[in-house]
Each structure stands twice: as C-alpha cells, then as structure tokens.
Amino acid sequence: QSALTQPASVSGSPGQSITISCTGTNNDVGSYNLVSWYQQYPGKVPKLMIYEVTKRPSGVSNRFSGSKSGNTASLTISGLQAEDEADYYCCSYAGTSTFVVFGGGTKLTVL
C-alpha cells in the first residue's frame, strides 16, 4: 500500500484535459512544496515532469502543469495527445525520518 493515494486509472480523448490527483497527509504533501511527478512508459525509465509542485524541467511540454491544495497535489495534462498515454507517479518529501514517499501510480489511457 503506497503512502500517497492516486487513482488507478484515468482516461480522456485527444484534445481534452485530464487531472490526476495525489492525496497524502500533513506529514508529506500538506507540509512541503516538494511534490514531483514522473511519467513512465512500459519498460522504460521514469521521466521527471514536474518538481516543487508547479515547476517544469527544461524540455517538458507546457501542457503539463502541477498544483496543490492542502494534502492533495494534482497533475493536469491539457490538449491530451496519444503520446501522453503512460503511467504517472506522484512523489513527495516526507521529512527527515521517512524522506520520500510515492503514489501507487495512475495509468492514463488516451481514448
């Protein structure tokens, strides 16, 4: 059982927007603006998409955006494209005892 809770799957049609939620607690997501999101294709290496809740690394499309409210962080993908179909994982810093926690992952299907 993962420390952060994500929906197992989400889906959307090309051009639409989808949002993936990531719910934690006051010990992780709620206490630190250190949430990151990763995209992973089957059999491939994870790729950093968002860090520090809202920041995009160089080269990541601006169709990807992050936000946070309370203990829940969210990843929004706008203008959905077929190439966005992948697994997405959220991650949060959780203090000097636990350090890092992940969500269980969300499978995005582009219909």
Q: Does 74 bind another protein (CB under 8 A)?
A: no
Q: Does 24 bind another protein (CB under 8 A)?
A: no
Binding test (CB under 8 A) with another protein, winner from 38, 68, 80, 110: 38
- Output the smallest distance, CB 102 to another protein, in A: 5
- Output the smallest distance, CB 66 to another protein, in A: 11
Say if strands 47-50 and 18-23 run parallel, antiparallel, or are unpaired: unpaired
- How far are the Cα atoms of 54, 68, 89, 98 from residue 74, in angstroms, in the given order? 9, 6, 11, 22
Number of residues this chain uses to bind another protein (CB under 8 A): 24
- Output the smallest distance, CB 14 to another protein, in A: 27
| CA distance linking residue 18 with residue 15, whole number of Å | 10
Q: Which two tokens stand for residue 83?
A: 């190439």
